[in-house]
Amino acid sequence: MNAPLAPYATVPSDARGRRWPEPETGDRTPFQRDRDRILHSAAFRRLQYKTQVFVCDEGDHYRSRLTHSLEVGQIARGICRSLALEETLAETLALAHDLGHTPFGHAGEAALDAALGGFGGFDHNVQTLRIVTRLEARYAAFDGLNLTWETLEGLAKHNGPVAPGAVPAPVANLDRDLELRLEEWPSLEAQVAALADDIAYDNHDIDDGVRAGLIGLDDLRGLPLFGPALAEVEACYGPLPPARLIHETVRRGVRAMVADTVDETRRRLAEARPESADDVRRAGRALVAFSDAMVETEQALKGFLRERLYRHPHVAAETERARVVVTDLFGALFARPGALPPEWRSRTDGADACRTARIVADYIAGMTDRFAFREHDRLGGRDR
């Protein structure tokens, strides 16, 4: 039996409904239905072959966007359980948060954003909203997935409140229909999902970097969090094979970050004393957070990953390969929309340049790494 929710948690029975009203069912809560719609979406399946750090043709054991999203969901559920929050809403947001990513991860996103420089640019968080509200075309009665207000709010505010002068057009359009209260903080469950994202990639990027041989175990000894964790594992177990050693070290990193999040969030909740989910939205600051000490530790970890992994010559070469593929794809398809598949080509009929550019970007953003390579070859792209 599920434990009672805290008074400031999001209560499923109080969900504010969907853009297109649907009868709710007794066997699942609204947030369970949202989660299931995301799990069954084509965009979610495609995450299996989209880059996290390493392009998907480099090996089967590195994280993809799909396995990253699953790990974020697991971490988010655990934090919510400790805080008596609504686990399924946080898991739903975790599973959906990267749906808008292009092939090749952030490298592909940067290339597509540059290609769309004269047409409004590209942002994967905004693209996630476009996918769940428009681009998934599965249901007879509506476009998108028709998710609940609470899920859409959490996706729109993935990085916190949205400043009035910085609201992208798709978010503004959604806000006009649903009144998402963009200037306020999202629910605690949405805040948990966002921080769980950081916890997941801070730790599994270290794991994948060691597996790839780009980071050595000795590189971790001087790092906060990982250095002490590594020493603890060695003191406890003695010599271990590298795979066991790094796994035991990383799991301690995840555990420490989760424990810190729970402790700091409890401290902030005790200060703010919210009595409802709306009190959380009006709190004026994030209530789910790392402690100051963990913020400093995480900044050090991010700096280490940036210098030793993300800018490593091997990763940089893959980044350049991704940039070439995405840039070539956009150039070829924007110049020749007739080369798009029929269902996409028909959308460009009578479209102006801005509309055509966005259709081409939607098509490219939905590609997996391997399909992007195939399309690049089909369209006569440069050697890769």
| DSSP output for 292-361 | HHHHHHHHHHHHHHIIIIITSHHHHHHHHHHHHHHHHHHHHHHH-GGGS-HHHHGGGTT--HHHHHHHHH
Q: Is residue 217 part of a domain?
A: yes
Q: Is residue 147 part of a domain?
A: yes
| Last residue within a domain, chosen from 178, 203, 238 | 178
Distance CA 17, CA 23 (A): 10
What is the structure's pLDDT at 382?
A: 58
Lowest mean pLDDT segment, chosen from 55-59, 88-92, 133-137, 202-206: 55-59
Which amino acid belongs to residue 47?
Answer: L
**Does residue 242 have a pLDDT over 60?**
yes
Same domain, 79 and 141: yes
What's the whole-model pTM score? 0.95
Same domain, 66 and 89: yes
Same domain, 144 and 241: no
Distance CA 53, CA 198 (A): 14
Same domain, 234 and 253: yes
Same domain, 67 and 148: yes
Q: Residue 218: helix, strand or coil by DSSP?
A: helix
Q: What are the DSSP calls for 87-155, one per residue?
A: HHHHHHHHHHTTTTPPTTHHHHHHHHHHHTTTTT---HHHHHHHIIIII----SS-SS---BHHHHHHH
Same domain, 86 and 170: yes
Q: Is residue 224 part of a domain?
A: yes
Residue 372, domain extent = 315-378
Q: Is residue 296 part of a domain?
A: yes
| Last residue within a domain, chosen from 178, 211, 228 | 178
pLDDT, one tens digit per residue, over 272-314 is 999 999 999 999 999 999 999 999 999 999 999 999 999 999 8
Same domain, 157 and 218: no
Q: Is residue 203 part of a domain?
A: yes
Same domain, 244 and 368: no
| Last residue within a domain, chosen from 256, 287, 313 | 313
Same domain, 123 and 232: no
**Does residue 2 have a pLDDT over 70?**
no
Same domain, 252 and 353: no
DSSP conformational letter for 276: S
Q: Is residue 13 part of a domain?
A: no
b/e per residue, 297-332, with b = 16+ CB within 10 A?
Answer: bbeebeebbeebbbebeebeebbebbbbbbbbbbeb
Same domain, 120 and 170: yes
Distance CA 111, CA 122 (A): 9
**In the chain, how many domains are there?**
3
Q: Is residue 17 part of a domain?
A: no
DSSP conformational letter for 3: P
Same domain, 74 and 38: yes
